[in-house]
């Protein structure tokens, strides 16, 4: 198995009120760059390549986090999540932006590792009067083991291997200092809309 760049023991403390990167995860290490997203897809080969680029290039956008909070979305509706090519051109955003970039890129490069979103729902916190509870990152599998990356809290870090998603979630709750009330692996970041059954008229 190829060495996983960024793998290390989970730090024991993090700011529980923010998804922004911790100082311990400042950009470091070599990475493969490219002038365009299409060229990056030609040069990159693995989760490690995507991960290293994220570690070097990603910048967290606190204002956008507030705009995507539950409070603001209820008031103004949905906001678009950055497409991978747009994120590559300007790699600034929040957890779901970097997760979408990593997942769709990895699906193009190595669909066999079964990349999925991991949506984590924490106990809610209020930041600047806005309610924040959901956090997104990406899972993939190798050799029957689970790995997790594209985490805005730890850009450039691959967590794993874990025997199960639950094992990672338990450790992640401890690291974040927040209770996780629910989590799920998903194929899409978009919320599933409930549809109401419509009774057909009697013949």
Give the number of C-alpha atoms closer than 13 A to the C-alpha of residue 114, restricted to the C-beta side. Answer: 10
Whether 58 is in a domain gets the answer yes
137: domain range? 34-186
203 domain-assigned: no
**Predicted model pTM:** 0.84
Domain contains 154: yes
Domain count, the chain: 1
CA gap 94, 83 in Å, rounded = 13
180 within some domain: yes
pLDDT in tens, 167-193: 999 999 999 999 999 999 999 998 753
Structure token pair of residue 14: 């993090």
Any domain includes 53: yes
In a domain, 27, yes or no: no
CATH number for the domain that contains residue 84: 3.10.620
Contact 155, 25 (CB under 8 A): yes
Residue 191 lies in a domain: no
Q: 38 lies in a domain?
A: yes
- HEC assignment per residue over the chain: CCCCCCCCCCCCCCCCCCCCCCHHHCCCCCCCCCCCHHHHHHHCCCHHHHHHHHHHHCEECHHHHHHCCHHHHHHHCCCCCCCHHHHHHCCEECHHHHHHHHHHHHHHHCHHHCCEEEEEEEEEEEECCEEEEEEEEEEEEECCEEEEECCCCCCCCCEEEECCHHHHHHHHHHHHCCCEEEEEEECCCCCCCCCCCCCCCCC
Residue 24: the pLDDT is: 66
| Range 83-96 average pLDDT | 97
Mean of the per-residue pLDDT values of the chain: 85
Residue bearing tokens 């570690």: 55
Task: Enter the tokens of residue 188.
Answer: 């899409």
At residue 5, the pLDDT reads 40
Tens-digit pLDDT profile for residues 5-56: 444 444 456 888 788 898 766 666 799 999 999 999 999 999 999 999 999 9
């Amino acid at each position: 198995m190829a060495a996983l760049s960024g793998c290390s023991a989970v730090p024991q403390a993090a700011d529980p009120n923010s998804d922004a990167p911790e100082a311990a995860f400042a950009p470091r290490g070599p990475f493969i760059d490219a002038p365009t997203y299409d060229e990056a897809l030609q040069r990159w080969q693995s989760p490690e390549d995507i991960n290293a680029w994220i570690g070097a290039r990603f910048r967290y956008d606190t204002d956008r986090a507030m705009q995507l909070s539950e409070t603001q979305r209820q008031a103004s509706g949905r906001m678009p999540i950055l497409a991978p090519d747009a994120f590559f051109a300007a790699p600034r955003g929040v957890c779901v932006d970097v997760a979408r970039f990593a997942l769709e890129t990895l699906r193009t490069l190595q669909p066999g590792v079964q990349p999925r979103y991991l949506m984590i729902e924490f106990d809610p916190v209020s930041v600047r009067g806005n309610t924040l509870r959901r956090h997104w990152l990406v899972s993939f599998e190798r050799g029957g083991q689970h790995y997790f990356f594209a985490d805005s809290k730890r850009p450039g870090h691959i967590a794993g291997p874990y025997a199960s998603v639950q094992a990672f979630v338990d450790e992640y709750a401890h690291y974040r200092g927040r209770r996780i009330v629910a989590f799920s692996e998903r194929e899409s970041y978009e919320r599933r809309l409930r549809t109401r059954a419509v009774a057909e008229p009697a013949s």
